[in-house]
């Protein structure tokens, strides 16, 4: 299984190891080099068939379910890597850096409006009603470079990364229904 992540408003993608998944309710412990954690809520699509060079008009056939997730970053490492012109994979692709909701929902149940709440205050609002379906655009784009296989997860960030502090609990809702929660240490 591959975890394929697309940063907010980007056409690029990067991969995370399958050990990056953090299950619902678990605590994220920042790795040793991390001094600042940032994260972004993501719409996650589960690939249901093998595909390569998928046309946008057929991309809807390659996923049936979505979930909500979160992409976590070591912000200080990412910043330093950018300054050094170094690859930034180690700032994004590390263990437990991808909290994932426990339930995937059928595509026809994907909400139009949702929110991410932290400490009971609304942090970000988002909408999946876009001019182009971001999942289908991602499937078509990614499949030009790598094979997509059953069980692969595509993570599409829904907003720019925001700072997270140690001790905070993040709760992600779909239309007032709690989908995912995790805490940061």
pLDDT tens digits for 37-85?
A: 999 989 899 999 999 999 999 999 999 999 989 999 999 999 999 999 9
* pLDDT at 150 (0 to 100): 98
Out of 1.10.1740.10, 3.90.850.10, 3.30.413.10, 3.40.50.620, the CATH code matching 3-184 is: 3.90.850.10
The pTM assigned to this predicted structure is: 0.91
122 phi/psi in degrees, rounded to 5: -65, 125
Tell me how far apart the alpha carbons of residues 37 and 111 are, in angstroms, rounded to a whole number: 28
Q: Where are the domains of the chain?
A: 3-184
5 phi/psi in degrees, rounded to 5: -115, 140
Q: How far is CA 98 from CA 52, 87, 164, in A?
A: 25, 19, 14
Residue 117 confidence (pLDDT) above 70: no
pLDDT per residue over 120-138, tens digit each? 456 666 655 555 678 999 9
At residue 108, the 3 state secondary structure works out as helix
Tell me how far apart the alpha carbons of residues 94 and 115 are, in angstroms, rounded to a whole number: 26
Q: What is the chain's length? A: 185
Tell me how far apart the alpha carbons of residues 66 and 46 are, in angstroms, rounded to a whole number: 6
């Amino acid at each position: 299984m591959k975890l394929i992540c697309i940063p907010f408003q980007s056409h690029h993608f990067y991969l995370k190891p399958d050990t990056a998944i953090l299950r619902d309710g678990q605590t994220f412990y920042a790795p040793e080099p991390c001094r600042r954690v940032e994260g972004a809520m993501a719409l996650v699509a589960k690939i249901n068939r093998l595909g390569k060079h998928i046309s946008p008009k057929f991309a809807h056939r390659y996923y049936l379910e979505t979930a909500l997730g979160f992409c976590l970053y070591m912000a200080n490492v990412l910043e330093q890597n950018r300054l050094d012109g170094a690859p930034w994979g180690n700032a994004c692709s590390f263990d437990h850096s991808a909290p994932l909701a426990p339930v995937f929902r059928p595509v026809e149940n994907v909400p139009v409006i949702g929110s991410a709440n932290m400490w009971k205050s609304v942090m970000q609002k988002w909408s999946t009603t876009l001019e182009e379906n971001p999942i289908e655009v991602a499937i078509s784009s990614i499949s030009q470079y790598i094979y997509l296989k059953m069980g692969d997860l595509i993570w599409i960030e829904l907003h720019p990364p925001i700072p997270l502090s140690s001790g905070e609990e993040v709760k992600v809702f779909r239309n007032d229904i709690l989908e995912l929660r995790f805490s940061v240490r």
